[in-house]
Amino acid sequence: MKETNPGADAIGQNLIKLISNVCFSVFVFSVLIFTVIAITYQPPDPWLESAPALTKLFTQTENATFKIDDSVAKTGEDMQTEATPAVPPIADIKPITEEVIEKKEEEVSNMTLKSSGCEDLELVNCSDPRVLITVEKFNFRLFKSIVFLDYQTPVNGSKQDECDVSWRFRNKKEKSWRKYRDFRRFKFGTGENCSYKIVHAGGWHSGINARRMRIRTNSTRSGRKNPKVAPLVRDDEINDTIPSLGSETNFRKGKYLYYSRGGDYCKGMNHYMWSFLCGLGEAMYLNRTFVMDLSICLSGQYNPSGKDKEGNDFRFYFDFEHLKEAASIVEEGEFLRDWKRWDRAHKKKVPVKKVVTHKMTPMQLRKDKSTIIWRQFDGQEPENYWYRVCEGQAAKYIHRPWHAVWKSKRLMNIVTDISGRMDWDFDAVHVVRGEKAQNKELWPHLNADTSPDALVAKLQGMIKPWRNLYIATNEPFYNYFDKLRSHFKVHLLDDYKELWGNTSDWYNETMLLNNGRPVEFDGYMRVAVDTEVLYRGKTRVETFYNLTSDCKDGINTC
């Protein structure tokens, strides 16, 4: 019989215990590391994606063909969700609800019961409160996608039974609190129970007598009027003025973050916005005023010539008034003038911290007391991109302030005008063609699926006949969609050229920003407007979801 070895058994048991302890220690240590990472990790910007993935998304290069479906830069309005509704900047501006109208109607009816009867309705008195209540009830029933904010007292129209009424509103689909204005002409008759009724309602901006007076200036330096061009107009609801630093003392007391122009200049608008918000986010992190260059170079991908166009104003594309309210900024020219003025007047120069590499992080600059932190981007691409400052560890600390940037109010006025002319009651289809339709390798079916006959067949099954149909498209030939006109009331962006023509408010207002020189309504503006009108359609038909089975980014990318 074989004898057992007690010493060998003890060694084996100790070895097993040792291995178990080591494994358990490794497990506990792994759990600890995972817990620490889970607690300290912060997603960089506005979605739960990695910084490199977002950087690639916003800075990828594109060719000269403007891709209507994915090339409009995201702004603060796009980042909001249905759970974060628009909030007006002034708390006492409350929407006009059905309950508000009913309460006002009850108060007015109690007053009119004491009067002699309905004789006073035979002649329409536009200042009669019942006129305005009738308009409010009519609008509330008709325009379901509009939030009405306030009304002006009605004024006389062109005939005795007509009144012109003006009101301010916002669209429910727009997440900003910006207000727009409409003024329409209404024809009144006598209804039941001593009340007014609306016999006819005019279209968008038909009530010209209720239009607000505007400040006008001469269109030429000599003061002679040009009959072919409308005089310059300044809309007092838009404040595009450049903020001033004020006195020399104010300049010296300030703290500034100044980015020199880098390789981002003349890149696509998504690239520009990704970089600009990096700089603005760093300024907020450092509690400094951001020095902003208002000059934008529009990438050739947005221009028919394919050439970059320098000297465009930030205010052509984005809402400068809202940016001033949301962030501490100063315009570059104003800043440089005050800086030079101070240095000329004082022996002791302004303290400046020059930073020549993006590798110096915002965290390292947090305690710097210099008046100016000057980041210089003189290296080769991609080392000279602004957004490099916000990569790596900095992504945990720098949060891009998407809320600070909205689309231009002037462009949104055009969007509102187009939508209003269709009485906010329209459907929309997005037809992507251009180079994608010609590239059979990546999009083999797109050209055929967006042909006129295919569009008629598809849309007849999705949209009711003779509805207003807005077509957002990069198809250059205006008559390409003529076959649809036999079934729908077709609207294209070029149907509204007068909204940016040389007699339009947009033309006049942008001229004022551009030192009296006309501004081109460029490719980026066209697509921004097209996309926003598309978004407001009651039924929205997309190319790569409804019209074709091809993938949006080519074969095998669905």
Strand order in the sheet with 427-431: 489-492, 468-473, 427-431, 540-541
| Tens digits of residue pLDDT in 182-201 | 999 999 998 777 788 999 99
Tell me the DSSP string of 119-167: GGGSS--TTSHHHHHHHHHHHHHH-TTEEEEEEPPPEE-SSTTEEEEEE
Cis peptide before 88 (omega within 30 of 0): no
Q: Give mean pLDDT, residues 417-440.
A: 95
Which is more confident, 45 or 98? Answer: 98
Lowest-pLDDT range of 25-29, 51-55, 400-404? 51-55
Q: Give mean pLDDT, residues 434-443.
A: 93
Q: Determine the pLDDT at residue 122.
A: 72
Q: Give mean pLDDT, residues 242-265.
A: 87
Q: Give mean pLDDT, residues 100-125.
A: 74
Lowest-pLDDT range of 88-97, 226-235, 254-263, 536-545? 226-235
Name the residue type at position 380. Q
Q: Per-residue pLDDT for 223 more than 70?
A: no
Q: Which residues lie closer than 8 Å to 20 by C-beta, 6 or more apart? A: none
Q: Give mean pLDDT, residues 356-369.
A: 96
Question: Strand 215-217 and strand 196-201: pairing?
Answer: unpaired
Residues 234, 235, 238, 242, Cα dihedral to 10°: 10
Lowest-pLDDT range of 23-32, 154-163, 247-256? 23-32
